[in-house]
């Protein structure tokens, strides 16, 4: 599972001109579900997001979403799994089929809510327009496989445990 996490002062998503989800201060999560991802991956993603200290406090990266009263806007984005290696047209062989992907995005949302966070969502499978004000800018790429965080911010980053 690959998630792009952006710290935002506000974010919203529209479908056919209607706002279907919006937040003020918090995190926009663009979630891509890969073939083979599991409930454990979705839960580990939510745990890491809920525990991640990426808001300023005593230091620039000191406080969690809950500590700043932040919310999450979760938007599914299969294009995060695109392969750009061959030709000029993206390939999506690594992206999970819509039905199982939607279930796993729902697990991420439920787990974030269970962690006490307010969560808004996009609409799975819809043509969405996402607007955001990136705060910082602060943007991370979170990779989770086998129920474990395998990378935070990119493939060269060291393994990061899911506990804080």
Beta-carbon contacts of residue 126 (< 8 Å; ≥ 6 apart): 15, 16, 20
Asked about 79 being catalytic, the answer comes back as yes
The span from the CA of 20 to the CA of 131, in Å, is: 12
Task: Tell me how far apart the terminal alpha carbons of the chain are, to the nearest angstrom.
Answer: 20
Length of the chain: 164
The span from the CA of 48 to the CA of 135, in Å, is: 19
Asked about 77 being catalytic, the answer comes back as yes
Determine which one of 6, 14, 77, 121 is catalytic.
77
Determine which one of 54, 78, 124, 140 is catalytic.
78
- Range list of H helices, 8-119: 39-51, 98-114
The span from the CA of 62 to the CA of 84, in Å, is: 36
Asked about 78 being catalytic, the answer comes back as yes
The span from the CA of 32 to the CA of 74, in Å, is: 11
Active site residues: 77-79
């Amino acid at each position: 599972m690959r998630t792009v996490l952006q710290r935002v002062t506000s974010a919203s998503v529209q479908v056919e001109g209607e706002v279907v989800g919006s937040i003020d201060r918090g995190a926009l999560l663009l979630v891509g579900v890969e073939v083979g991802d599991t409930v454990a991956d979705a839960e580990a993603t939510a745990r890491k997001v809920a525990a991640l200290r990426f808001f300023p406090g005593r230091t620039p990266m000191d406080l969690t979403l809950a500590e700043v009263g932040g919310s999450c806007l979760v938007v599914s984005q299969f294009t995060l799994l695109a392969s750009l290696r061959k030709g000029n047209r993206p390939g999506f062989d690594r992206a999970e089929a819509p039905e199982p992907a939607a279930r796993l995005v729902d697990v991420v949302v439920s787990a974030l809510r269970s962690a006490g966070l307010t969560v808004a969502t996009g609409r799975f499978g819809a043509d969405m327009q996402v607007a955001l004000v990136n705060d910082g800018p602060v943007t991370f790429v979170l990779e989770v496989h086998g129920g474990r965080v395998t990378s935070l911010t990119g493939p060269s980053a060291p393994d990061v445990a899911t506990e804080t």
